């Protein structure tokens, strides 16, 4: 059932968003006369590598500096890229990945090998499912760039402030996955683009109903500053990306 819905919705989405995609591709191309697409390698289901398609929002070869987390003030982001990232337009081409089976509409967000290589044995469970375009953490951390802004080491900040909760939300989804939950999260994703505060409050109610512990429900509201936390299955807060 999930795969049938993925195919139908992704195909419809590609058709509906085709004019917008063409316009975005043209705008990105004419800013520096390079490909409008960014096609990085990601770790998919059962740790299989696949190429995820995105509209390019950064300068060419931006990933050569091996910094995986992106703050809003990252100098690699182009002028047009700032608009694209703010509106999440760069994610639309991932409907193609959903159509061909690399991804699902809803599922744990995909990550690069450098990050999944740091996963604990508990976090490895995130890789049993197809990665998704959206999930609980996509809504809760839709402002990821702002969270990492002005951080001396964005990657370390990601591993201390975002990864622990992102992984916990992902594991909660895997343990409670259902078609109804998927449609609920898709609705909340669209609501987040219109009224983020309302979406966050609804997500908090949702994760509470799913049986999330109180601290995770509090994080879902995003009303308090994020605090460093150990990833699921770890004994302490990440101090280095090499450990």
Q: What is the pLDDT of residues 87-139, one digit of tens each?
A: 899 999 999 999 999 999 999 999 999 899 999 999 999 999 999 999 999 99
Is the pLDDT at 227 greater than 80? The verdict is yes
Helix (H) or strand (E) holding 42: strand 41-43
pLDDT for res 63: 78
Cα–Cα distance for residue pair 72/82, rounded to 1 Å? 8
Classify 212 as helix, strand or coil: coil
So what's the pLDDT on residue 217? 98
How far apart, in whole angstroms, are the C-alpha atoms of residue 118 and residue 110?
14
Whether residue 66 has pLDDT greater than 70: no
pTM attached to this predicted model: 0.93
Q: What is the pLDDT of residue 139?
A: 97
Percent of the chain at pLDDT above 90?
87
CA distances from 84 to 68, 102, 119 (A): 18, 23, 30
**CA gap 68, 66 in Å, rounded:** 6
Q: Cβ contacts of residue 131 below 8 Å, gap of 6+?
A: 42, 43, 44, 45, 102, 103, 104, 107, 108, 109, 110, 111
């Amino acid at each position: 059932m999930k795969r049938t819905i993925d195919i139908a919705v992704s195909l419809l989405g590609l058709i509906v968003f085709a004019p917008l995609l063409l316009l975005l591709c043209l705008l990105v191309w004419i800013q520096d006369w390079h490909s409008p697409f960014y096609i990085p390698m990601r770790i998919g289901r059962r740790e299989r590598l696949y190429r995820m398609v995105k509209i390019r929002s950064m300068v060419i070869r931006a990933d050569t500096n091996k910094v995986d987390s992106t703050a809003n003030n990252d100098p690699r982001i182009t002028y047009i890229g700032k608009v694209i990232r703010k509106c999440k337009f760069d994610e639309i081409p991932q409907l193609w990945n959903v159509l061909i089976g690399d991804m699902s509409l809803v599922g744990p967000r995909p990550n690069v090998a450098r990050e999944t290589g740091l996963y604990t044995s508990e976090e490895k469970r995130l890789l049993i499912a197809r990665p998704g375009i959206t999930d609980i953490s996509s809504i809760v951390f839709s402002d990821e760039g702002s969270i990492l802004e002005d951080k001396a080491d964005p990657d370390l900040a990601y591993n201390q402030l975002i990864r622990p909760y992102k992984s916990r939300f992902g594991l909660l989804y895997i343990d409670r996955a259902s078609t109804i939950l998927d449609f609920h999260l898709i609705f909340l994703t669209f609501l987040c683009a219109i009224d983020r505060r309302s979406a966050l409050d609804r997500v908090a109610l949702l994760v509470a109903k799913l049986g999330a512990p109180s601290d995770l429900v509090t994080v879902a509201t995003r009303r308090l500053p994020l605090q460093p936390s150990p990833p699921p299955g770890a004994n302490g807060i990440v101090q280095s990306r090499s450990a």
